[in-house]
Chains A and B, each alone.
Chain A
Amino acid sequence: MKQILSISGYLAVKEVWRNRGRFLLVSLVIALITLLVLFIAALGEGLGNGNREYISKLDAQLIVYQAKSDYLIAASRLGSDRLEEIRGVDGVADAGKFGAASAALILPGDEDALKVALLGVEPGHTGEPQVVEGQQLGSDDANEAIIDRSTALRTGLVPGDTITVRVTQGTEFEFFELRVAGATTGQQYSLQPSIFVPFDTWDRIRPKSAAEVAIPNPVANVILVRLEDAKQVEEVRQRISAEANDVEIATLKEAIQALPGYSAQQSTLNTQGGFTLFIGILVIGGFFQIQILQKVAQIGVLKAIGTANPLVAIASVIQIVVVTVIGVAIGGLLAFLFSLTFPPTVPIVFNGTTSALAIVALLLIGPLGGMVSILYAVRIEPLKALGLSS
């Protein structure tokens, strides 16, 4: 076997090297396919991340919604009485109210206002993100905010700064000043950068209809539940269901899948990625098939002088792998270099796992595409290839 690999490798590498222009061209085609696949994967990750980032990083295992809200946060309304019921359920370590709204962050100078997700969380309870700089939120009605990394990158704000939030209440614009208490990691919500404010503050400054203005009504969208034992998700879920009226409960995974547009967006991008890989298989398959057709006589000579079929097949596989690896390496490098040039506003995230999966898929398309040509090479009859058959 070692001998076969050694000779196959020798023949494969010699052929690639002596025809490097032709093979490099195929590697470049693979590099472009790699670039495309990695960008589609990164775009899918970026868009998905922008949608689910806050929820996926939650220190919670369950999300409680109003019954029949179909796991839609915006459609759910839960009062404080539900919160108390849930906190009393056996197995629940903590629960916190969560409210989501949109607002505009007024930036100094002539810059356009930044649209942000205005998120209400209970200080010290589940849902409040951990700061990486500055301090946690003080009290339930403090005029404070935690900004996420995305907001910080886009605005240059740091803890201690004062921000102005513009919302519509009734039919008027209202402006609220908040002190930036701390900054947290990336916690985008609905593809928007986030600012977290104490829940009562959120209720006061969130956009409201004319009827709601000046009427305190601290109704949360959902309640975030942290369990004493993260493994007992199903048991606690059933208990909450039994003890709290008119609620429906989702795990984080279910909640993410139910985010508006999330599944459709991901499946669209996955389909695009799949089709690109498929086109890659056809392109590589086509190239190697044409190449094999061009060298039928040459393979015939090799077989006639005593080269065994496994050697011919392995030489073809090595050639395909070499060309594919070079192509994927060039494509990966290009993708990395391009990624450095994108501003934080572009939702592209090169996640290690997703990129690794894409790269493995790309490395497989070479041998998959070339399979037909390898089979063809193995079946070449030296007698026919050399024109000796009667």
Chain B
Amino acid sequence: MTTYALETKSVVKTYQSDSGVIQAVDDVSLKVGAGEFVALVGPSGSGKTTMLSILAALLQPTSGQILLDGQDLASMSDVDRVTMRREKIGFTFQANNLVPYLTAVENVELMLRLNKKLDKVGKLRARELLARLGLGERLHNLPGQMSGGQQQRVAIARALIHNPSLVLADEPTASLDTERAYQVVETFAGLIHEQGRAGIMVTHDLRMCEFVDRVLSMQDGKLVRIYTGKEEIMELVKGGRH
């Protein structure tokens, strides 16, 4: 039987609004294996950001299960979900990714500090990872002294340094030009494959799907289509429609 790093079962998220009940996520079930990089795409309001928040243990679903390494995030206490975020999940955001008063290497080491893993080996790994991401000369630069692309690469290093089971990226290329966006996502995908993490990237830019193994398309809260195989994905990329 295949085991997945991440598995969701019939996840539902509803909100109460003045106009009635809004079904932000509607019965979504998905599986992501270790070393698999998946894109979550869909138009605005399709529920992909809500789904990402649920997968990141930042939001409780109304019903359903989210199994990360076999542990159900949906039934955990707040404190346990904070621990899961710290130990098992890596996260990069659209912007404001880094702690502005910590240097590049300190930002990466922060994850090791929080996980009580900052030893000599950890420090060396942080430097090596940043060097691999082309930031060997920027180790001691503050975020304000780096470009958007460089900041995103530091965020990628931070998301991976503590060996999480799941790495999530929310629109990681939103503030980057095309060339830098390709570089960032390609590097991200390479590391996820190489380190055997389960990776999910939310993006509205279908061109970035070139580097993923599967594309999950959402609409009106539902998972409407799954693109697998290089050809199918490239067709989607070229077509530019969800």
Contact = CB atoms under 8 A, between A and B. Distances in A.
B18 to A, nearest CB: 14
A307 B114 CA distance: 7
- Size bracket of the A interface: 20 to 34
A278 interface: no
Interface in A259-318: 297-298, 300-308
A97 to B, nearest CB: 72
Contact of A10 (B22, B89, B94, B113): B113
A389 B100 CA distance: 23
Contacts, number: 70
B93 A306 contact: no
A308 B58 contact: no
A18 B101 contact: yes
Q: Is the interface of A mostly helix, strand, loop or mixed?
A: helix
A306 B83 contact: yes
A305 to B, nearest CB: 6
Contacts of B98: 301
A18 B50 CA distance: 35
Interface in B51-77: 52-53, 56, 58-59
A305 B49 CA distance: 17
A3 B142 contact: no
B91 A305 contact: yes
B24 A304 contact: no
B116 interface: yes
Nearest to B170: A388
A171 interface: no
A306 B114 contact: yes
B96 A298 contact: yes
Contacts of B53: 383, 388-389
- Size bracket of the B interface: 35 or more
A107 interface: no
Given A18-B101, A306-B87, A308-B79, A386 B114 contact: no
A19 interface: yes
Nearest to A297: B96
Interface string A1-13: 0010001001100
Counting chain B CB atoms within 10 Å of each CB, which of A301, A305, A307 scores highest? Answer: A305
B106 A306 contact: no
Nearest to A304: B91
Contacts of A3: 116
A298 B82 contact: no
A238 interface: no
A306 B106 CA distance: 16
A168 B126 CA distance: 89
B15 A390 contact: yes
A15 interface: yes
A300 to B, nearest CB: 8
Contacts of A57: none
Contact of B58 (A15, A18, A302, A382): A382
B102 interface: yes
A18 B85 CA distance: 27
Contact of B100 (A298, A307, A388): A298
A14 interface: yes
B93 A304 contact: yes
B86 interface: yes
Contacts of A7: 113-114
Given A382-B58, A388-B53, A390-B49, A301 B99 contact: yes
A14 B96 contact: no
B111 interface: yes
Contacts of B106: 14
Across chains A and B, which 7 residue pairs bring their CB atoms closest together, nearest first?
Answer: A306-B86, A18-B101, A306-B85, A297-B96, A15-B101, A388-B53, A383-B58
Interface of A: 3, 7, 10-11, 14-15, 18-19, 297-298, 300-308, 382-383, 386-390
